[in-house]
């Protein structure tokens, strides 16, 4: 049993009596960055491991979702770094077109200005100025969390290199016929005055009104957007609907307008929904647009870009939400309202930036033809080039990429990558790449729109590594190893990176693994929202409990693909764990734990047991880590650290250390080794406290670059584990008995131990007596209680003078009465068919659990009463 020792200083380092995160974290982080521990080298012969950070918005600040995402990525990166990989975690930010433009426009409004007062060029300069002065707050907050990113490689989606990548891929897609310009229905924000991507639309169940309108004696249609009827150009029915077959090809008069519109047959119509007849407004509904295309219907735009009615008539000039009740009132006055359902709850899309209700709108925009790109993105997962973790989310990915609509990529903004297309005086259209000359003749003008922010971020895994140039970084670190992100943007950002990565990089996937996590929720499982008042600022927890405690709280809930509930109580528990690690290491240092020389060969069963347990834990952690099971990794380490190391091994070591001699020296060496390995295992999750402790324990430079533990099969000792399991059972049962009898933890009791040798733990009697606070039996020993622990081991105790029998009996009788009452009440509920039949299953299950707990209490109390002395 040998190990290369760490260099340790001769003087024992002094640790403060209590761990103070505020005195450690900033100092440690700055030292890590100065030392260059996070820097990476593309010329290294180490195997690469790469994560490109999902770029937060330049306007953003750290929220719980970021904190979870970054904790997982940092854990993965730090572990790989310790395993000897050239581990690159690349940081950066997204220019966040809509959000950033809104921020600067609000700033101008406070000055009494608009962007139009400045003009496009000056406004963009103003945005860059804001970015330099106020943008990127989140980067500093990432340091507070402990992100081990290579800051020298920080990128921004509008920097020179990434802008070149955008222009390059736009022209390539354009030349391949995969980018086109067309009039189609898009999501439109009447407040931000721009098209929106699907991910920029948030859907919520809103209260509205469902109005049924009579279009003719035989046709009634229902709508939640009565104002759009002004743009109807047909009524559609299913071709097989017998009720309406005779009307197909005829016309009806559109109420309030005097226009006549046709009745068409279309298989999109569901004959079982409502009346089976639907109004068709091609310019204001995506499904109606498709019907209009199939039947060559005209598209009438009846609202302007701000949602104001433009159709001639009495409603012209009204806002859409003013026009809606006015139109319903006019229809009601003519007796054309058949039914009104109010409130009617239905899904409504809102702009994710300003919360304005989104308006479907026919608009001339730029689109990516997604069909061939999406097929490639689906094939990469199907053929195994890319693995989705957890695997059961792959079907959701396929449901999206296999049915993807063409992607609207143009935005009516000034901040962003401007569409690289020029229009000539004679109708010419020229796409200009990064190395092409821009047309300068009279009458030439560039497209006014900019690209969707997701267009540039879709290039992130390779543009950040230098593409379109063939850089050493690109050769070394692409494909990236893993993408860590929330399942909620699997469809949008992840799918787009897959499409562009495979397209630009000749079929090479942008990442090998997509590791999906859930959303952070409150302790009740409720989504965090300002309106709910349950939003938690991770910086507040970092300030009060430390970054390690905040990280550990999030990590313990990070099951792949599952939502993560958190609470302040759990964070306090994580802080207590960090303090426990601190205190145990401090105890070890004060008692001479070290790493000098090889591990001794002549170890006690206790030392062999903890070393064996350590090997199992290293193997379990490695297996779980490869499956991205961070929550289970944390659970394994938590219980090994707290239960095996701190509660058992340290306590078992205390009498040995106090006894001195060779046994104590061997235990000091084992204790040093176990803590060294434990701190390494914990470091990727709680980096600050572990680095402070590891350097103090080992005298090494930093645990950041220390080698990751490797299990040593020769140290696995099944016999020692079985022996200590018996010892632990004996001590645990004695402690339980003492607790049931009301004995104080420090109070010593005289006892006789029988059967220890037969159980294989005869040599551990001094340790058992020390841990269980038991004294040797003398001549006046009188047996007042007996406890059968195992088939071989029994414990006979003399509790005279240790227990106030009358008071203890009274206490137990009181407890028994309460438990009996609880058992009777819960049993009565479960015996009541009316209750069991009507109550929700979780409520019934809770009652069952209460009954089981009460019955267990009754059994425990009965045993304790029986064990009390009779005299």
Going through 542-655 in order, the beta strands assigned E by DSSP cover 564-565
**Spatial distance between the Cα atoms of 596 and 673, rounded to a whole number of angstroms:** 10
Judged by DSSP in three states, 664 sits in helix
- Angle (CA) 160-162-168 rounded to 5° is 105
The β-bridge relationship of strands 511-517 and 387-389 is parallel
Contacts of 161 (CB under 8 A, 6+ apart): 155, 463, 466
Torsion of CA 675, 680, 681, 683, to 10 degrees: 120
Using CB atoms within 10 A of its CB, is residue 435 exposed (0-12), middle (13-18) or buried (19+)?
exposed
Give residue 269's Cα distance to chain centre. Answer: 39
CA angle 367, 370, 374 (to 5 degrees): 155
Residue given tokens 């905040």 in the structure block: 550
Nearest to 358 by CA among 368, 367, 348: 348
| The pair of three-digit structure tokens given for residue 267, joined into one six-digit string | 């298989």
Phi–psi pair at 60, nearest 5 degrees: -85, 170
Residue 94: asked if its preceding bond is cis (omega within 30°), the reply is no
Q: Which letter does DSSP use for residue 486 in this model?
A: E
Q: How far is CA 265 from CA 221, 246, 260, in A?
A: 15, 11, 17
| Range 531-552 burial, b when 16+ CB lie within 10 A, else e | eeeeebebbebbeebbbbbbbb
- Residues whose CB is less than 8 angstroms from the CB of residue 748 and which lie 6 or more positions away in sequence, other chains included: 773, 774, 775
Strands 359-368 and 337-351 come out as unpaired
**What does the alpha-carbon distance between residue 82 and residue 706 come to, in Å, rounded to a whole number?**
6
Alpha-carbon distance 871 to 412, whole Å? Answer: 91
Backbone angles phi, psi at 532, to 5 degrees: -85, -15
530 is in an annotated binding site: yes
Sequence length of the chain is 871
- Quote the CA–CA distance of 127 and 45 in Å, as a whole number: 42
**Residue 847: count of CB within 10 angstroms of its CB:** 18
User: Cα–Cα–Cα angle for 703, 708, 712, nearest 5°?
Assistant: 135
Q: How many C-beta atoms surround the C-beta of residue 468 within 10 A?
A: 19
Separation of alpha carbons 179 and 162, rounded Å: 19
Instruction: Count Cα neighbours of 604 within 13 Å in the Cβ-side half-sphere.
Output: 23
Tell me how far apart the alpha carbons of residues 556 and 629 are, in angstroms, rounded to a whole number: 10
Which has the closest alpha carbon to 173: 455, 362, 386? 455
Q: What is the DSSP string of 2-42?
A: --PPPP--SSPPP--SS--HHHHHHHHHHHHHHHTTT---T
How many of the other CB atoms lie within 10 Å of CB of 330? 17
Q: How many CB atoms lie within 10 A of CB 715?
A: 21
Contacts of 110 (CB under 8 A, 6+ apart): none
Asked if the bond preceding 390 is cis, omega within 30° of 0, the reply is yes
Q: Are 387 and 134 in contact (CB under 8 A)?
A: no
Cα angle vertex 796, ends 790, 800, to 5°?
145
The CA angle 804-809-811, to the nearest 5 degrees, is 95
**Binding-site annotation, residues:** 530
The binding site for ATP consists of 530
């Amino acid at each position: 049993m040998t190990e290369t020792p760490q260099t340790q200083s001769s003087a024992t380092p002094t640790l403060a009596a209590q761990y103070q995160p505020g005195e450690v974290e900033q100092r440690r982080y700055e030292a890590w960055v100065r030392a260059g521990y996070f820097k990476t080298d593309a010329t290294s012969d180490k195997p690469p491991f790469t994560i490109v950070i999902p770029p937060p918005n330049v306007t953003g600040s750290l929220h719980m979702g970021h904190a979870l995402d970054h904790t997982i990525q940092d854990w993965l990166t730090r572990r790989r770094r310790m395993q000897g990989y050239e581990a690159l975690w690349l940081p950066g930010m997204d220019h966040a077109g809509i959000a950033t433009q809104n921020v600067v426009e609000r700033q101008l409004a406070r000055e009494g200005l608009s962007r139009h007062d400045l003009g496009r060029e000056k406004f963009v300069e103003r945005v860059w100025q804001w970015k330099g002065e106020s943008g990127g707050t989140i980067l500093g907050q990432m340091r507070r969390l402990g992100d081990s990113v290579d800051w020298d490689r920080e990128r921004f989606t509008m920097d020179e290199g990434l802008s070149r990548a955008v222009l390059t891929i736009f022209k390539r897609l354009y030349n391949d016929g995969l980018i086109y310009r067309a009039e189609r229905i898009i999501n439109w924000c009447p407040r931000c005055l721009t098209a929106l991507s699907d991910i920029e639309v948030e859907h919520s169940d809103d209260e509205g009104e469902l109005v049924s309108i009579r279009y003719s004696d035989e046709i009634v249609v229902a709508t939640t957007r009565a104002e759009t009827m002004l743009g109807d150009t047909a009524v559609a029915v299913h071709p097989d609907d017998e009720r309406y077959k005779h009307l197909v090809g005829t016309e009806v008069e559109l109420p309030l307008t005097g226009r006549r519109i046709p009745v068409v047959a279309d298989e999109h119509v569901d004959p079982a929904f409502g009346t089976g007849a639907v109004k068709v407004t091609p310019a204001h509904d995506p499904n109606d647009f498709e019907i209009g295309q199939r039947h060559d219907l005209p598209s009438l735009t009846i609202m302007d870009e701000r949602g104001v009615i433009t159709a001639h008539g009495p409603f012209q000039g009204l806002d859409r939400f003013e026009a809606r009740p006015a139109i319903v009132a006019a229809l009601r006055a003519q007796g054309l309202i058949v039914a009104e359902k109010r409130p009617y709850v239905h899904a409504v899309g809102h702009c994710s930036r300003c919360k304005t209700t989104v308006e479907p709108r026919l608009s001339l925009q730029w689109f990516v033809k997604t069909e061939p790109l999406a097929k490639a993105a689906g094939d990469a997962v199907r053929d195994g080039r890319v693995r989705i973790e957890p695997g059961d989310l792959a079907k959701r990915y396929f449901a999206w990429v296999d049915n993807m609509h063409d992607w609207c990529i143009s935005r009516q903004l000034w901040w962003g990558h401007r569409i690289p297309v020029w229009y000539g005086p004679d109708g010419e259209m020229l796409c200009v790449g990064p190395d092409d000359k821009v047309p300068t003749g009279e009458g030439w003008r560039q497209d006014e729109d900019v690209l969707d922010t997701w267009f540039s971020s879709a290039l992130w895994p390779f543009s950040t590594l230098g593409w379109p140039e063939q850089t050493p970084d690109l050769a070394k670190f692409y494909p990236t190893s893993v993408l860590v992100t929330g399942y909620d943007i699997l469809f949008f950002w992840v799918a787009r990176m897959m499409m562009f990565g495979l397209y630009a990089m000749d079929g090479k996937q942008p990442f090998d693994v997509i590791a999906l996590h859930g959303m952070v929720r409150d302790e009740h499982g409720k989504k965090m929202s300002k309106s709910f008042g349950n939003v938690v600022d991770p910086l507040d927890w970092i300030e009060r409990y430390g970054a390690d405690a905040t990280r550990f709280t999030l990590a313990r809930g990070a099951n792949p693909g599952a939502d993560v509930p958190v609470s302040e109580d759990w964070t306090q528990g994580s802080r207590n764990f960090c303090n426990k690690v601190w205190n145990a290491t401090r105890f070890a240092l004060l008692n001479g734990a070290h790493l000098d020389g090889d591990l001794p060969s002549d170890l006690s069963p206790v030392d062999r047991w903890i070393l064996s347990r350590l090997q199992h834990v290293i193997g379990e952690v490695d297996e779980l880590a490869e499956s991205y099971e961070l929550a289970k990794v944390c659970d394994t380490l938590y219980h090994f650290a707290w239960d095996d190391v701190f509660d058992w091994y340290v306590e078992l070591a205390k009498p040995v250390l106090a006894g001195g001699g060779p046994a104590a020296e061997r235990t000091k060496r084992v204790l040093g080794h176990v803590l060294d390995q434990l701190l390494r295992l914990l470091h990727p999750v709680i980096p600050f406290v572990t680095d402070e402790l590891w350097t103090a324990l080992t005298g090494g430079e930093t645990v950041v670059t220390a080698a990751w533990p490797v299990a040593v099969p020769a140290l696995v000792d099944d016999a020692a584990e079985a022996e200590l399991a018996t010892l632990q059972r004996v001590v645990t049962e004695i402690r339980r008995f003492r607790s049931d009898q009301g004995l104080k933890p420090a109070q010593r009791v005289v006892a006789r131990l029988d059967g220890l040798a037969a159980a294989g733990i005869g040599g551990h009697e001094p340790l058992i007596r020390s841990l269980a606070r038991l004294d040797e039996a003398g001549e006046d020993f009188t047996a007042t209680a007996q406890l059968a622990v195992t088939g071989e081991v029994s414990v006979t105790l003399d509790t005279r003078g240790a227990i106030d029998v009358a008071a203890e009996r009274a206490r137990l009788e009181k407890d028994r009465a309460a438990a009996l009452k609880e058992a009777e009440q819960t049993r009565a509920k479960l015996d009541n068919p009316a209750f069991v039949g009507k109550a929700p299953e979780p409520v019934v299950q809770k009652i069952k659990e209460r009954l089981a707990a009460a019955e267990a209490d009754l059994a425990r109390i009965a045993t304790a009463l029986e064990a009390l002395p009779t005299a």
